[in-house]
A and B are shown apart, each in its own frame.
Chain A
Amino acid sequence: MTDSDGDLRRWRLPRGRHGLPRELVVRSQRERLLAAVVQVTAARGYESTSVADILEEAGVGRESFYELFDDKQDCLLVARGLLVDDLEATVRAAYGGGEAWADRVRKGLTAMLTWFAADPAAARVVVIELAAVGAPAREIFQTDFNRFVKLMDDELDEAIPGLPQATGLGVGGLLARVYEEVVRDRTAQLPELLPELLYELLVPFLGEDAAAAERSRAEAIADAR
């Protein structure tokens, strides 16, 4: 938390007359507010976070805040939306490519776990604090879930006969596991779960033996690092 505080202060523009174009000031204020809402919400929980807390963390005035966002919820949801876009792009980049499907699943999964582990505050906002915003959370969760199911589905030739929701099961399992680890403050250790999660993800598609072989491969790659 102290590190990011330091970063945020460095981004802070000089107060008063500094001769910077207004557009640049607004963009910088928006970015600081978005970074601040993630930090503050992750630290205190959405319920206990006030606009005043966000302003203090960002070093931005109340008037500027309300020019940019409707309220606390709007600010958090914009920030969270950007984070999920970034996560999806990261996973997509790692998952895409010409290798064998199981290799690409391993790479996509690695990218996902690493993304969460690198920024526990972002992980908390993405997976836990969403629910606290109330009704809008439902639609957002569903949209996010379907984005990741589609991401995985796009690379599959066909569904498994008899298991129409196999990708939904895979994405659901990952989400539930990430959620649990983040709740237990073990976000930074998520990448250690790679072999186990890869196995679970692949079993419905490949069967136990092939999935276990991929798990061993993931373990060997992890050991080699």
Chain B
Amino acid sequence: MQKQRGTETLRSVLETTVPHDVGIRSQRQRIVDAMVESCAEKTYAATTIADIVSRASISRTTFYKRFEGKRDCFDAALDWCIEELRAAAAGSHTPADPPSLAVRNAVAAMLELMAAKPGLAQLVIGEAVAVEPAVVKRYRDILIPALERLWDEAGARRDSGADPKLSFGRAQVLVYNQILAGDTAELPRLLPDLVYIALLPFAGHEEALEQARLAGSHSSTGLGDR
């Protein structure tokens, strides 16, 4: 029987793994963490395998057992970041919530996660786009259908003529700029504007603006509408 420590996340507890596998997993995660930290500090372009190996306290041989190279490792780091964000968004609302509220809470949850993990924010919003411009399409292919489902299930969709693809670009550049300003901790301040553009294509200008104002008045207390 595997002993459960308090530091384990819910997910790792739920996953059935043998201890040996847990060891490999955490070593892999250490390497992923090292990639995230190094990218945040000096960019992907300037990151070397030597940086990763030294941060993760592993040997070069171990690195190449887990990953084919720098890019492969970066891709794993990106997958991890995306999964963290997805989980934060999914956990922020219930199917019973009206779509506007669900979107507001999901945006708030993702901003809070990025504020708490600046390395993750930098990697997802900044580095990944520099490394592989096509990643923007991957993000959109996750986010836009998720938003569409939310509105379609509620039967509340209203076509505003605004393109959700463009909305996404706006959000990304705005968040990137905030991160570059060194204000990752203040990312939740962007909540009203991001709620507006997440809602605009599906709910229209008036409703989006109304929700943005609500988000602004809630976020001034430092908390989303939970």
Binding site for B on A (CB under 8 A): 47, 128, 131-135, 137-139, 141-142, 145-146, 160-166, 168-173, 175-177, 179-180, 183, 196-197, 199-200, 203-204, 207-208, 212
Residue from A162, A171, A172 in contact with B172 in the complex, judged by beta carbons closer than 8 Å? A172
Min CB distance A11 to B, Å, is: 32
Q: Is the interface of A mostly helix, strand, loop or mixed?
A: helix
CA A170 to CA B181, docked complex, whole Å: 18
Query: Are the C-beta atoms of B177 and A145 separated by less than 8 Å?
Result: yes
Query: Are the C-beta atoms of B161 and A135 separated by less than 8 Å?
Result: no
Given A128-B133, A173-B166, A173-B173; A164-B193 close (CB under 8 Å): yes
Segment from B23-31, B54-62, B91-99, B200-208 that makes contact with A: B200-208
Question: For B167, what are the chain A residues with a Cβ–Cβ distance below 8 Å?
Answer: 173
Given A135-B43, A172-B172, A207-B205; A200-B180 close (CB under 8 Å): no
Query: Are the C-beta atoms of A163 and B209 separated by less than 8 Å?
Result: yes
Residue from B45, B172, B212 in contact with A134 in the complex, judged by beta carbons closer than 8 Å? B45
Query: Are the C-beta atoms of A172 and B177 separated by less than 8 Å?
Result: yes
**Can you list 12 A-B contacts (CB < 8 A)?**
A128-B133, A134-B46, A137-B130, A142-B181, A162-B213, A164-B216, A169-B170, A173-B170, A173-B173, A176-B173, A179-B133, A204-B209
Judged by a CB distance under 8 angstroms, whether B19 is at the interface is no
CA A134 to CA B168, docked complex, whole Å: 24
Query: Are the C-beta atoms of B169 and A131 separated by less than 8 Å?
Result: no
Binding site for A on B (CB under 8 A): 42-43, 45-46, 126, 129-130, 133-134, 136, 160-163, 166-174, 176-177, 180-181, 190, 192-193, 196-197, 200, 204-206, 209, 212-213, 216
Query: Are the C-beta atoms of A204 and B45 separated by less than 8 Å?
Result: no
Residue from A138, A142, A177, A204 in contact with B43 in the complex, judged by beta carbons closer than 8 Å? A138
Question: For A207, what are the chain B residues with a Cβ–Cβ distance below 8 Å?
Answer: 205-206
Query: Are the C-beta atoms of A168 and B174 separated by less than 8 Å?
Result: yes
Given A131-B129, A141-B180, A168-B177; A176-B42 close (CB under 8 Å): no
Question: For B160, what are the chain A residues with a Cβ–Cβ distance below 8 Å?
Answer: 203, 208
Question: For B173, what are the chain A residues with a Cβ–Cβ distance below 8 Å?
Answer: 145, 168, 171-173, 175-176
Question: For A199, what are the chain B residues with a Cβ–Cβ distance below 8 Å?
Answer: 161-162
Residue from A141, A163, A170, A196 in contact with B163 in the complex, judged by beta carbons closer than 8 Å? A196
Question: For A131, what are the chain B residues with a Cβ–Cβ distance below 8 Å?
Answer: 45, 129-130
Question: For A164, what are the chain B residues with a Cβ–Cβ distance below 8 Å?
Answer: 192-193, 216
Question: For A177, what are the chain B residues with a Cβ–Cβ distance below 8 Å?
Answer: 166, 169
CA A65 to CA B32, docked complex, whole Å: 40
Question: For B174, what are the chain A residues with a Cβ–Cβ distance below 8 Å?
Answer: 165, 168-169, 172
Best-surrounded residue of B168, B173, B192, B197 (most CB of chain A within 10 A): B173
Min CB distance B134 to A, Å, is: 8
Query: Are the C-beta atoms of B197 and A133 separated by less than 8 Å?
Result: no
CA A204 to CA B196, docked complex, whole Å: 9
CA A212 to CA B134, docked complex, whole Å: 30
Query: Are the C-beta atoms of A176 and B126 separated by less than 8 Å?
Result: no
Question: For A141, what are the chain B residues with a Cβ–Cβ distance below 8 Å?
Answer: 176-177, 180
CA A182 to CA B166, docked complex, whole Å: 15
Query: Are the C-beta atoms of B169 and A162 separated by less than 8 Å?
Result: no
Query: Are the C-beta atoms of B196 and A208 separated by less than 8 Å?
Result: no
